Protein backbone atom coordinates (compact mmCIF):
# COMPACT_ATOMS: atom_id res chain seq x y z
CA UNK A 1 0.00 0.00 0.00
CA UNK A 2 2.84 2.39 0.83
CA UNK A 3 4.44 1.98 -2.64
CA UNK A 4 1.09 2.67 -4.27
CA UNK A 5 0.63 5.88 -2.31
CA UNK A 6 4.19 6.97 -3.13
CA UNK A 7 3.43 6.36 -6.83
CA UNK A 8 0.22 8.39 -6.53
CA UNK A 9 1.96 11.24 -4.70
CA UNK A 10 4.85 11.25 -7.20
CA UNK A 11 2.54 11.48 -10.21
CA UNK A 12 0.46 14.17 -8.50
CA UNK A 13 3.57 16.14 -7.56
CA UNK A 14 5.10 15.97 -11.04
CA UNK A 15 1.88 16.87 -12.88
CA UNK A 16 1.13 19.68 -10.40
CA UNK A 17 4.64 21.15 -10.61
CA UNK A 18 4.82 21.04 -14.41
CA UNK A 19 1.27 22.39 -14.77
CA UNK A 20 1.86 25.19 -12.27
CA UNK A 21 5.20 26.18 -13.81
CA UNK A 22 3.72 26.21 -17.31
CA UNK A 23 0.89 28.47 -16.13
CA UNK A 24 3.23 30.90 -14.37
CA UNK A 25 5.49 30.96 -17.42
CA UNK A 26 2.49 31.57 -19.68
CA UNK A 27 1.24 34.36 -17.41
CA UNK A 28 4.66 36.02 -17.69
CA UNK A 29 4.34 36.14 -21.47
CA UNK A 30 2.77 39.36 -22.63
CA UNK A 31 1.65 38.30 -26.07
CA UNK A 32 -1.64 37.03 -27.43
CA UNK A 33 -0.12 33.99 -29.09
CA UNK A 34 3.37 32.72 -29.85
CA UNK A 35 4.25 30.24 -32.58
CA UNK A 36 6.54 27.58 -31.08
CA UNK A 37 7.20 25.19 -33.96
CA UNK A 38 5.90 23.61 -37.14
CA UNK A 39 6.27 20.00 -38.17
CA UNK A 40 4.64 19.22 -41.48
CA UNK A 41 0.95 20.00 -41.15
CA UNK A 42 1.19 20.48 -37.37
CA UNK A 43 1.72 23.87 -35.75
CA UNK A 44 2.13 24.47 -32.02
CA UNK A 45 1.27 27.83 -30.49
CA UNK A 46 1.25 29.13 -26.94
CA UNK A 47 -2.06 30.95 -26.68
CA UNK A 48 -2.93 32.06 -23.13
CA UNK A 49 -6.65 31.51 -22.57
CA UNK A 50 -8.81 31.79 -19.46
CA UNK A 51 -11.42 29.04 -19.14
CA UNK A 52 -14.18 29.27 -16.54
CA UNK A 53 -15.94 26.12 -17.71
CA UNK A 54 -15.08 22.56 -18.60
CA UNK A 55 -13.58 21.35 -21.88
CA UNK A 56 -13.86 23.99 -24.63
CA UNK A 57 -15.42 26.37 -22.08
CA UNK A 58 -18.64 24.36 -21.80
CA UNK A 59 -20.83 24.99 -18.75
CA UNK A 60 -18.96 28.23 -17.90
CA UNK A 61 -22.06 29.60 -16.15
CA UNK A 62 -22.19 26.58 -13.80
CA UNK A 63 -18.90 27.09 -11.95
CA UNK A 64 -20.11 25.96 -8.52
CA UNK A 65 -21.80 22.86 -9.90
CA UNK A 66 -18.70 22.04 -11.98
CA UNK A 67 -16.50 22.40 -8.92
CA UNK A 68 -18.71 20.05 -6.88
CA UNK A 69 -18.82 17.57 -9.78
CA UNK A 70 -15.03 17.66 -10.19
CA UNK A 71 -14.45 17.06 -6.49
CA UNK A 72 -16.95 14.17 -6.52
CA UNK A 73 -15.17 12.61 -9.51
CA UNK A 74 -11.80 13.05 -7.80
CA UNK A 75 -13.16 11.31 -4.68
CA UNK A 76 -14.40 8.41 -6.79
CA UNK A 77 -11.05 8.15 -8.61
CA UNK A 78 -9.23 8.02 -5.27
CA UNK A 79 -11.59 5.26 -4.10
CA UNK A 80 -11.01 3.20 -7.25
CA UNK A 81 -7.25 3.77 -6.91
CA UNK A 82 -7.29 2.34 -3.39
CA UNK A 83 -9.22 -0.73 -4.60
CA UNK A 84 -7.05 -1.28 -7.69
CA UNK A 85 -4.84 -4.33 -8.08
CA UNK A 86 -3.13 -3.20 -11.29
CA UNK A 87 -0.16 -0.86 -11.61
CA UNK A 88 -1.34 0.26 -15.07
CA UNK A 89 -4.76 1.18 -13.70
CA UNK A 90 -3.15 2.98 -10.75
CA UNK A 91 -1.00 5.12 -13.05
CA UNK A 92 -4.01 5.92 -15.25
CA UNK A 93 -6.16 6.91 -12.27
CA UNK A 94 -3.35 8.96 -10.73
CA UNK A 95 -2.90 10.88 -14.00
CA UNK A 96 -6.62 11.63 -14.26
CA UNK A 97 -6.83 12.62 -10.58
CA UNK A 98 -3.73 14.81 -10.87
CA UNK A 99 -5.06 16.69 -13.88
CA UNK A 100 -8.41 17.22 -12.18
CA UNK A 101 -6.62 18.38 -9.01
CA UNK A 102 -4.62 20.95 -10.98
CA UNK A 103 -7.73 22.35 -12.63
CA UNK A 104 -9.63 22.48 -9.31
CA UNK A 105 -6.64 24.25 -7.76
CA UNK A 106 -6.74 26.80 -10.60
CA UNK A 107 -10.44 27.45 -10.08
CA UNK A 108 -10.05 27.88 -6.32
CA UNK A 109 -6.87 29.98 -6.62
CA UNK A 110 -7.57 32.06 -9.75
CA UNK A 111 -11.30 31.67 -10.38
CA UNK A 112 -10.57 30.14 -13.79
CA UNK A 113 -8.32 27.59 -15.50
CA UNK A 114 -5.38 28.82 -17.56
CA UNK A 115 -5.04 27.02 -20.90
CA UNK A 116 -2.17 27.69 -23.30
CA UNK A 117 -1.24 24.73 -25.52
CA UNK A 118 -2.76 25.23 -28.95
CA UNK A 119 -2.19 22.81 -31.81
CA UNK A 120 -3.26 23.39 -35.38
CA UNK A 121 -3.53 20.35 -37.62
CA UNK A 122 -3.75 21.21 -41.32
CA UNK A 123 -4.59 24.80 -40.26
CA UNK A 124 -7.55 23.64 -38.15
CA UNK A 125 -7.73 24.46 -34.46
CA UNK A 126 -8.77 21.75 -32.04
CA UNK A 127 -8.95 23.80 -28.87
CA UNK A 128 -6.54 25.16 -26.30
CA UNK A 129 -5.57 23.04 -23.30
CA UNK A 130 -3.00 22.79 -20.51
CA UNK A 131 -0.71 20.21 -18.90
CA UNK A 132 -3.47 19.14 -16.49
CA UNK A 133 -5.78 18.43 -19.43
CA UNK A 134 -3.01 16.44 -21.12
CA UNK A 135 -2.62 14.38 -17.92
CA UNK A 136 -6.38 13.71 -17.85
CA UNK A 137 -6.37 12.69 -21.52
CA UNK A 138 -3.26 10.50 -21.11
CA UNK A 139 -4.74 8.84 -18.03
CA UNK A 140 -8.06 8.23 -19.79
CA UNK A 141 -6.28 6.73 -22.81
CA UNK A 142 -4.18 4.49 -20.55
CA UNK A 143 -7.31 3.45 -18.61
CA UNK A 144 -9.05 2.60 -21.89
CA UNK A 145 -6.08 0.44 -22.92
CA UNK A 146 -6.02 -1.24 -19.51
CA UNK A 147 -9.75 -2.02 -19.60
CA UNK A 148 -9.45 -3.35 -23.17
CA UNK A 149 -6.62 -5.67 -22.13
CA UNK A 150 -8.53 -6.77 -19.03
CA UNK A 151 -11.64 -7.49 -21.10
CA UNK A 152 -9.62 -9.47 -23.65
CA UNK A 153 -7.98 -11.54 -20.88
CA UNK A 154 -11.37 -12.20 -19.27
CA UNK A 155 -12.79 -13.32 -22.62
CA UNK A 156 -9.87 -15.68 -23.24
CA UNK A 157 -10.19 -17.09 -19.72
CA UNK A 158 -13.91 -17.77 -20.20
CA UNK A 159 -13.27 -19.40 -23.60
CA UNK A 160 -10.77 -21.83 -22.09
**Among 51-60, 87-96, 124-133, which range has the highest average pLDDT?**
87-96
Does pTM surpass 0.85?
A: yes
Catalytic: which of 19, 32, 85, 115?
Answer: 115
- Backbone torsion region of residue 53, taken as left when φ is above 0, otherwise alpha when ψ lies between -120 and 50, otherwise beta: beta
Residue 146 has pLDDT above 80, yes or no: yes
Mean predicted lDDT score pLDDT of the chain: 90
pLDDT of amino acid 69: 92
62-97 tens-digit pLDDT: 788 889 999 999 999 999 999 999 999 999 999 999
Asked whether 55 and 66 are in contact (CB, 8 A), the reply is no
**Among 20-29, 102-111, 133-142, which range has the highest average pLDDT?**
133-142
- To the query of whether residue 32 is one of the catalytic residues in this protein, the response is no
Catalytic: which of 19, 32, 133, 159?
Answer: 133
Structure confidence at residue 16 as a pLDDT band (50, 70, 90): very high
Amino acid sequence: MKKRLILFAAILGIVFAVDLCSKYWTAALTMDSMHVFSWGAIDLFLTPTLNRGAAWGMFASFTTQLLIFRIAVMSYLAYIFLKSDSRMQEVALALIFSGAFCNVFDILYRGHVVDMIHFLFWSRSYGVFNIADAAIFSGAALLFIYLSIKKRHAKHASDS
